[in-house]
Amino acid sequence: MKKLEKSKLIGDKTVQISGSKSISNRLLILESLFKNIKIGNLSNSQDTQLLKKALSETTETVDIHHAGTAMRFLTSYYSIAEGKTTILTGSKRMKERPIKNLASALQDLDIEIEYMENEGFPPLKITGKKITQTQVNVPANISSQFITSLLLIAGKLENGLEINLVGEVTSRSYIEMTLDILTKFGIKNSFVGNVIKVESFINDHSSIINYEVESDWSSASYFYSICALGRETIHLKSFYKESTQGDSAIAKIYEEFFGIKTTFSEDEHKLTLQPDPNFSFPEKIILDMNNCPDIAQTLCVTAAALKIPFEISGLGTLKVKETDRLSALHIELKKLGTETEITDLTIKSISFNEPEENISIKTYQDHRMAMSFAPFCLIKELHIEEENVVEKSYPMFWEDLSQILMK
C-alpha cells in the first residue's frame, strides 16, 4: 500500500516520461512482421515488455498475463502465422475480457479460432493460415484495439484488406494513430466514412526505418491533474505538438476546464504546463470523451477534488478495461466526498461532501485507478492499494511523482 501524505507541488520541475505504450505496441507488431524497423524510446511499461517477450516465444502456449493490448494484437498476428498453432492465454481478469468481435472478424476471413474455456473469451487456440479474402465487417463501437489488430496485419496480406465499420465509430483517434504509423512505413491506406482500406505492402528489407516513439500522453494526463490542483508550472519530455495520440486531447480539455495552458518547445520536444492565475473555474463540465476514454478517470478525480460538477459521456469501453472503470470510479470517488451516478456510457456527479478521514483507494488491479487518484494527495492524505499496478503502463510513476511533491 502506497501512503501519500498531504503535499504541495514544487514548481518548475521537469519529468521525462517513457515512450507511448500505444505506439510502442503497434511498432513491435510491425517490427516482427516486416523486420526493417528500429525503434527508439520504446515504452518501459509492463504491457510493452510482455508483448515484446511474447513475440519472441517459440512455445505453443503464450501467456500475456494482464496485457489486454497484447491479447488483441497477437490474436491477429498469430492468425497469419501459416502452419502454426498458438494457444493465447492470460490472467483471470483477461479471461473475463471479451474478444468475440475480433475473433469473429478473423473467422470471417477463414481463420480457425477455438474458444478453449468460455465462448467469446480467452484463452484462444489459433491456427494460422494465409488470408486471401479482402473484406470484413466489424462493429464500429467496439474497442479500437480490435480494429487496430486487423490493420496491423493488413499490409502483410497479399490482397490487402478492406474493413467496413458498422455503426458509430468509438475511439476514432486511436484508429487514425495506427493508420498514421502505417503511412510512415509506406503502407498505403485510406479511411473514408466508415470504410478503411489498407493495401498490400511489398517490404524492402534493404532500408531500415527509424522510429522515435513520442512519450505517452496518457501518462502525461496525471501531471495535468497535479498541475490543476497544485497550480504550479510543470515541464514534461518528450512530446510533439502535432501528436497522433488521442489522449493529447488532455491539453485542450485542461485548458478549457481547469485553466492549464500548454506550450511546446520544438527543439527540446518539451511541453510546459502552466496554470492561469486568473482562471475562473466553470459551473459544470459537460464533455463527450468517446475519443479519449482512457483519461476520463483523471478528469473525474480532478473535478471531484475541485468540487466542479461534471457529466461525462462516451465511456462505453470503460466497462471492459482492466476493471469496470465506471463502477470503480463510482465507488472510489465516494471516498473523496463525491457522489456519482453511472450508466453503461456515462458518469455524472450528484453531490460533493467532505472526504473520508482515512482514505484508502482500491485499484481493482487497474493501473489508471492508482495514478488518476494519486493527485488527490494535494488535497488530503490518502493510501493507494496495490501500488505496483502502475508497472502496467508507467513503472516510474511513484519515483517521478516524489520528485515534484513536498510534504
- What is the rounded CA–CA span in Å between residue 252 and residue 95? 36
CATH architecture of 2-18+215-406: Alpha-beta prism (3.65)
Is position 288 annotated as part of the catalytic site?
Answer: no
Q: What is the pLDDT of residues 150-178, one digit of tens each?
A: 999 999 999 999 999 999 887 788 899 99
Q: Does domain 21-212 have CATH number 3.40.710.10?
A: no
Residue 80 pLDDT level (bands cut at 50, 70, 90):
very high
In the chain, where are the structural domains located? 2-18+215-406, 21-212
**Do 2-18+215-406 and 21-212 come out as alike in CATH topology?**
yes
Read off the C-alpha cell for 278: 486568473
Residue 226 pLDDT level (bands cut at 50, 70, 90):
very high
Strands 161-166, 135-139: pairing kind: parallel
DSSP state of 120: T
How big is the chain, counted in residues? 407
Query: For the whole model, what pTM was predicted?
Result: 0.79
Average pLDDT, the chain: 93
Q: What is the pLDDT of residues 247-294, one digit of tens each?
A: 999 999 999 999 999 999 987 889 999 999 999 999 999 999 988 888
Exposed, middle or buried by CB within 10 Å (0-12, 13-18, 19+), for 306? Answer: middle
Q: Which of 294, 324, 344, 400 is catalytic?
A: 294
